[in-house]
Structure 1
């Protein structure tokens, strides 16, 4: 069942918050992406699920053209505002679903997606589509929410994410990412798990998480096993999080 309706409901009303989000616009994250990708001035790039446009804008400063896609019209409008504020003219914004891209095979030198894959309802098809439109020798870059390996964190941290955001589908652990990637025509250049933390209550407020769900999230964290608790410390003003970062080259 498609998750698009829930995504549009949740993010359409919060599009401005995501354009202004310090997490999504983090300059050190974006700089690291550019250093990994090493884009050239003649490259054509695709930003999948552009959100507030941060990834597309960072790429547009280094490449010839960027196509930025999203399923939420309000997000595309905010991304366009952000690109206009930067004075950029080499971006196009289009409503597209990653599960059924309208782009031709082998069209892009770079395909990137940040903080989006955990919303995709069929990750295998989405990744296949991202690879399909990528040129042989092209680069795939992904940065997304992740969880530690293991039955408990894979289950319980995803419960937490869903309580916060009803459009959440699944945050994949490195173990599960390895399984997904081995089925794709990719050579893995770099794959890493990055430990981070979200500031509270900003993390909740950005999605309008209600008080009951916030309380349940704290209960889940308190009830984790001792082993899992070592990986997920938290406090009144923060929650520990992980991100999976991937750079790969298409065969």
Structure 2
């Protein structure tokens, strides 16, 4: 088993344990942001869509409500069970969910008009390999949409941010900064036709809870949080607000096409 395979097994263990908790998070379920992402891709009623690392499938379902067909693809069976049950509850008939490894997508080249991936690139051990696969299965004039948290361009702040996220969720590899995303796209031969940074506010206790960590790790996370409130050592505007601790993820949203 290579390092990438071992990491994938950690993802399956982590999200298998925490699938129900994650599926209830506002980050996963917010219909307004999901529909905005669908609209940004230019999806129409003829579009064939693949949603990579779909988790509980809410973005996949948002595409299915608008497009000809949508396939959700994930490495965690527990997520897929939640997604299938919810799609059945909604009466969606143009949707399916598939299990597997995003580094080896089981689809022919050029199959999909839109290939999306939301809130997952920070989990990938080899993001360039995943993105290359997304490009391969996209139609020649297809679009690729990526939405994910970003870290600061300041390397010290980025490391502090990633250190905290790895404690909350051991499958977190690294949140890329904007310039690293640009380099990643260029490496794979993609160019951004649209990009934006969207702030996403997160309450610290919800963030910690979604990782399901033990008391000792929770205490370590809280100590790191306390240490950055007045100095913003993590670049996330950690703050006290309305009697709770909050921070703001800068989320990068990119719609990509093959580079000329």
| CA–CA separation in structure 1 for the residues paired with 2:147 and 2:92 | 24
Counterpart among 18, 21, 25 of residue 17 in structure 1: 21
- CA deviation map 1:110-161 (0-9, x unaligned): 0001111111111111111111111111111111121121111221111011
Partner of 1:56: 60
1:154-169 mapped onto 2 (5 Å cutoff): 154-169=158-173
Over 6 Å off, 4+ runs: none
- Supply the distance in 1 between the matched residues of 2:188 and 2:121 (Cα, whole angstroms): 16
* TM-score in terms of structure 1 length: 0.93
Farther off after superposition, 220-229 or 191-200 = 220-229
Does 1:212 pair with 2:221?
Answer: no
SS of match in other structure, 1:14: helix
* TM-score after normalising by structure 2: 0.90
Q: Supply the distance in 2 between the matched residues of 1:63 and 1:44 (Cα, whole angstroms).
A: 7
The answer to whether the Cα contact below 8 Å between 1:234 and 1:240 also exists between their aligned partners in 2 is no
Structure 2 partner of 1:234? 239
- Which of 219, 237, 247 lines up with 2:255 in the alignment? 247
Give aligned pairs, total. 251
- Corresponding residue of 2:195: 191
SS of the residue corresponding to residue 142 of structure 2 reads strand
d(CA) in 1 for partners of 2:17, 2:114:
30
SS in 1 for 2:26: coil
> Is 1:92 the equivalent of 2:100?
no
Specify every segment of 5 or more residues in structure 1 that has no aligned partner in the other structure, as ranges.
none
**Which whole-Å CA distance do the structure 2 matches of 1:230 and 1:176 have between them?**
16
d(CA) in 2 for partners of 1:149 and 1:223?
20
Deviates more, 1:138-147 or 1:206-215: 206-215
Partner deviation per Cα, 1:155-180 (whole Å, 9 max, x = no partner): 11110110000111111110211111
The alpha carbon displacement at 1:190 in A equals 1.6
Tell me what 1:131 maps to: 135
Matching residue of 2:178: 174
